[in-house]
Structure 1
């Protein structure tokens, strides 16, 4: 009986303590609400990009029906790949957001989900970021292949323009392998937390930061260089031949800069206030970083309003990737590349 009374008193005391708002409970509710908002925004983006994909496909079928002779049609596969990569990044980001909700709800009680769910989220993070940076790489690569920008290209520029993708892939794959095979996670009172690591715990983050910084600097340099050359040339001659390309470069440069800044902020948080955050709080920062990067890349396209709200645009205003060849090949190639970028 005494033991029973003691247990009852302890339960009453503990229940009173749990009713008092503490920092852990506030952080738990904040992270849960924030993650749910990310899920809602992720669902919206996936639905919009899927519907946009459907409408572009419908536009291409209409062009194909109006032009019976297929040899008079030109299919811009580069634009297709950029659109598909944005869609892939949004889908993988949404799945990661959903897994984050599962981790928040079950990470404190289940001892079996932490390791697989954390490593699955690592794979999703890697694929999402790699897809977005591949879009930025493709865009700068195509810009240097336009006829109006060939004069800005030399062997050094071409080398960096083509090799920066190797850093993107290398950073993603190498860091992912370290996360997958050198550490394990377990359930704690604050959620899923690191249980063991066979290497220095900060090594994967350090390597990812170094690789990311390198290819971000290279991308920004490749995009700022033609802007600088164009500004110098405009001082001596007035020309409108590069106006469309310059507008594209400005948009892509801004998207790359936003991605670099958000990634840098996440890195600083990792180094500075990591000890003040629990596992779920730290993971939310990465989720927000993914969303900001995704929005920056989508908004860098000229038709970003159509991509973000395709159900508000009439079908005849949708720009397809299957087009009829024009008579003026040089002018047509420049205009087509500029519009698709």
Structure 2
């Protein structure tokens, strides 16, 4: 009996099923992430601008906005990469390959990947810049750290631009039963990989150094404000380490692992980008609120939002902290009324504690 289900001759059924299933699953996850991040921003706008009050530094609010925008753009560019992967598989299956099909889709995928990675490392760079701009860490800011910081930012963009050109312009692909495979190249095949390794490892090493320096400097000593700020640096350092390790591992796998179905490169690229995107979201202290904003929306509308657009809660939907704050405020008012005295120094100290708490809320 003849099988009524057939695939075109230029489509490998195993590759098509594995990649299409994987990409569909990843697409749903990334769509959910983008939706939640946008919903979270909507919640911020509905509850008013974050960081109300004169104690919020203007530059801190700018850092917070920049990091939130970068955390949204990362998964958006990742969706562009996944959409191109879907298009490539579908066009191959339907035997509708336009002129220069493989080369065009390859360039689009390279550009989307470079933009996604750039947003991830730009986020990490912005985070370390914020750390050094804090008053408790400002004594660590020297001509050397400033120069290394700007050198890191320059290397990030130069590396992504050069590698995009080398991989997108000097390599040409052709369509086979196993998808688009490398056909010819105008420069030695190892040159783009060497440039990628040197440039990427270069700015990754600088970035790690900028994160580790405050931790090593204040490993066992420091004021209370520094000790309160160090968890932010530690958590971001872990995030940066995860992103860097994922990128290096993905590159090694793509270079040295061969499979007969040509599945590994596309799948490893996609999984690596997913790890980077999720790591950036996890870099915020209120990552639960970002990934489950509907839970935050159910809280009382007068719940305060921190300067980073993060809630002052740990992520659960309970209102215990709000009740505690309300009770504390009420007790303070009673004490003030009963004594009729205002203590400027105590209020100043309390404002300092609130500032430290705000910085911690802005942390990972």
TM category, shorter:
0.7 to 0.9
Farther off after superposition, 258-267 or 158-167: 158-167
Q: Does 1:339 align with 2:323?
A: no
1:24-39 → structure 2 map (5 Å cutoff) = 25-39=13-27
Q: Does 1:252 align with 2:240?
A: no
Tell me which residue corresponds to 1:319.
305
Q: Which runs of 5+ in 1 are unaligned?
A: 1-10
Pick closer, same or farther for the CA change 1:280–1:322 going to 2, 3 Å.
closer
More helix by share: 1
Pick closer, same or farther for the CA change 1:224–1:52 going to 2, 3 Å.
same
* Shift of residue 222, structure 1, vs aligned partner: 1.3
1:222-301 → structure 2 map (5 Å cutoff) = 222-233=210-221, 239-273=223-257, 275-276=258-259, 278-301=261-284
TM-score by length of 2: 0.77
Pick closer, same or farther for the CA change 1:254–1:317 going to 2, 3 Å.
farther
1:130-169 → structure 2 map (5 Å cutoff) = 130-169=118-157
Aligned counterpart in structure 1 of residue 180 of structure 2, from 171, 192, 199: 192
* Shift of residue 180, structure 1, vs aligned partner: 2.7
Q: Does 1:85 align with 2:73?
A: no
* Shift of residue 259, structure 1, vs aligned partner: 0.6
Tell me which residue corresponds to 1:56.
44
Give SS of 2:218's match.
helix
* Shift of residue 157, structure 1, vs aligned partner: 2.0
Q: 2:201, 2:273 → 1: CA distance? A: 16
Give SS of 1:302's match.
coil
* Shift of residue 187, structure 1, vs aligned partner: 1.6
* Shift of residue 188, structure 1, vs aligned partner: 1.1
Pick closer, same or farther for the CA change 1:277–1:257 going to 2, 3 Å.
farther
Q: 2:55, 2:253 → 1: CA distance? A: 54
Give SS of 1:241's match.
helix
* Shift of residue 263, structure 1, vs aligned partner: 0.6
Tell me which residue corresponds to 2:333.
none
**After TM superposition, what 4+ stretches of structure 1 lie above 6 angstroms from structure 2?**
326-332
Pick closer, same or farther for the CA change 1:168–1:63 going to 2, 3 Å.
closer
* Shift of residue 277, structure 1, vs aligned partner: 5.4
Pick closer, same or farther for the CA change 1:44–1:198 going to 2, 3 Å.
same
Tell me which residue corresponds to 1:4.
none
Q: 2:119, 2:70 → 1: CA distance? A: 5
Pick closer, same or farther for the CA change 1:91–1:245 going to 2, 3 Å.
same
Q: Which runs of 5+ in 2 are unaligned?
A: 310-346
For the aligned residue pairs, the C-alpha RMSD in angstroms reads 3.0
Pick closer, same or farther for the CA change 1:277–1:319 going to 2, 3 Å.
farther
